[in-house]
Amino acid sequence: MKRSGPVLKLAAPMRLLAQRTAFLGLVGLAAGLMVLGKAEAPFIERGRMLVADAVVPLLDAAARPVHTANEFADNVRGLLAVHAENVRLREQNNMLMHWQQVARNLEAENRALRDTVRASTEASFTFVTARVVADAGGAFVRSVLIAAGARDGIAKGHTALSPDGLVGRVGEVGERSARVLLLTDLNSHVPVMIEGSRDRAIIDGDNSDLPRLVFLSSGARPQLGDRIVTSGHGGVFPPGLPVGVVVQNGEQGVRVKPYVDFHRLDYLRVVDYGTGGTLPMAAPPPQTRRGR
Amino acid sequence: MVVAALAQLDRLVKRALPAALSVLIVALSVVPVPIPEYAVLAPNFALMSVFYWTVHRPDLFPAWGVFLIGLFADALSGGLVGLSAFVLLLVHATIMSQHKVFRGKAFWLVWLAFVIVAFGAQLLGAALGFAFRGGLPGWPIWLSQFALTIALYPALAALLGRIQRLFLSGS
């Protein structure tokens, strides 16, 4: 049925007006969300993790072929260099056998000394291994999404490690996904120390690949090549986790190259050291799981 | 009866296709790829998709769809929630206001328009990110991300064009 006359004449401008109002409403809503996000409103975080929870199965499925292709490429590379790799591993094995002996001696000595001073034994910890399924920070955020969440025992503030060293800490937790804030993120501040001198400092991310060492204790003289480990201060991370190595010490400040290659994160080990930390902990009963 | 229901379903699927494809593109764009710096330099696929559908099928791509795609992108990236939604809505409105200009134009002209829009969008994104989060990305990162976004647009546009011809040509 064809409509005409005054109704149609009125309907078109009304529709345009409604569309414009709706558009302005949406723009205002987006701006409002940014302001609330800046104020760290809890419902924003919950909403974000609800979306992550919903998409994680899809991301996990999409990430699998990429992981498999990666492993395949590594295998091919390994096969091509098998002889050289064998020689290298034999040499490394000889060296490690020596270090194993040293470690055993030290362990025995340590136990004896602990017995002497009646020191309490270190707390045990539990961990969950989870696959990295999203790595999307853009230029402003350095974080990854992992396919394990509160139902696997992960809670805010838990430590994320790779075989090479400290990756970061869990910043947001959903039911089956969690977001790990990387060491290089602008909002990451980790208390560390220089391994040899035990001088304390904070390692501050600035979204670049080389985080800065700031608040160095007075008199500290970091040298290129110095190993940086967590100091355990602040209670978020336990002491002694390998962080990186000093690679710059000049006008740009002291810069540290993390041991972890953040571009090749496949699996992370999320550890509950039971440190509690300075972050609010919504703690479900932790459970141990090896491999997912 | 059944035919009518199927026709209704067909219409619904077609109406939802641009938004659903955009959501899928955004989701797949965050899958970790073992390329150094990829996560930092990752091109803005959400912008590409929103631009394409607003230019070619604005009737199937309402502002609220753009808003939801933006929120989805922000939720996945861990960035400031609302930032992408805000920027993409402005991109959507800009293209809608110039819609007649794009009609029937050669691809390179549309691409040129994308370059200008992407430049503005990325500049606005960086300014908002700085205002709300602090810390500006270095200009090499900013420039590389922009260059990748405009360089990959023709490939994505070709793919989406094929899908459009396959599924949406009659509607």
Please indicate if any CB of chain A lies within 8 Å of the CB of B28. yes
Tell me if A59 and B133 make a contact (CB, 8 A cut-off): no
Tell me if A26 and B133 make a contact (CB, 8 A cut-off): no
Which residue range forms the structural domain that includes residue B154? Answer: 48-167
Please indicate if any CB of chain A lies within 8 Å of the CB of B144. no
CB neighbours of residue A129 within 10 Å: 18
Residue A237, pLDDT above cutoff 50: yes
Tell me if A23 and B135 make a contact (CB, 8 A cut-off): no
Nearest to B81 among A33, A136, A186 (CB): A33
Give the Cα separation of A248 and A250 in Å (integer): 6
In a domain, B42, yes or no: no
In a domain, B69, yes or no: yes
Q: What is the pLDDT of residue A285?
A: 40
Please indicate if any CB of chain A lies within 8 Å of the CB of B99. no
Q: For residue range A88-113, what is the model confidence (pLDDT) as tens digits?
A: 999 999 999 999 999 999 999 988 88
Tell me if B32 and A265 make a contact (CB, 8 A cut-off): yes
- Beta-carbon contacts of residue A67 (< 8 Å; ≥ 6 apart): A131, A266
User: Running DSSP on this structure, what letter comes out for residue B109?
Assistant: H
Contact (CB, 8 A) for A229 and A242 = yes
Q: What is the pLDDT of residue B115?
A: 95
Which residues from chain A sit within 8 angstroms of residue B134, using beta carbons? 186
Residue A232, pLDDT above cutoff 80: yes
In a domain, B19, yes or no: no
User: Running DSSP on this structure, what letter comes out for residue B60?
Assistant: G
Q: State the average pLDDT over residues B39-63.
A: 87
**Mutation for A interface: B37, B38, B77, most A CBs within 10 A:** B77
Please indicate if any CB of chain A lies within 8 Å of the CB of B85. yes
Contact (CB, 8 A) for A186 and B135 = yes
| Residue length of chain B | 171
Tell me if A23 and B79 make a contact (CB, 8 A cut-off): no
Per-residue pLDDT band at B58 (split at 50, 70, 90): confident
Nearest to B39 among A70, A133, A135 (CB): A135
Nearest to A55 among B27, B40, B79 (CB): B27
Q: State the average pLDDT over residues A23-46.
A: 86
Q: State the average pLDDT over residues A79-84.
A: 86
Q: How many domains does chain B have?
A: 1
In a domain, B12, yes or no: no
pTM value > 0.80: no
SS3 string of chain A?
CCCCCHHHHHHHHHHHHHHHHHHHHHHHHHHHHHHHHHCCCHHHHHHHHHHHHHHHHHHHHHHHHHHHHHHHHHHHHHHHCHHHHHHHHHHHHHHHHHHHHHHHHHHHHHHHHHHHHCCCCCCCCEEEEEEEEECCCCCCCCEEEECCCHHHCCCCCCEEEECCEEEEEEEEECCCCEEEEECCCCCCEEEEEECCCCCEEEEECCCCCCCEEECCCCCCCCCCCCEEEECCCCCCCCCCCEEEEEEEEECCEEEEEECCCHHHCCEEEEEECCCCCCCCCCCCCCCCECCC
Domain annotation for chain A: domains and CATH numbers: 40-80+122-183+264-292 (2.40.10.340), 186-259 (2.40.10.350)
Please indicate if any CB of chain A lies within 8 Å of the CB of B35. yes
Please indicate if any CB of chain A lies within 8 Å of the CB of B31. yes
Which residues from chain B sit within 8 angstroms of residue A134, using beta carbons? 30-32, 76
Q: For residue range A147-164, what is the model confidence (pLDDT) as tens digits?
A: 999 999 999 889 999 988
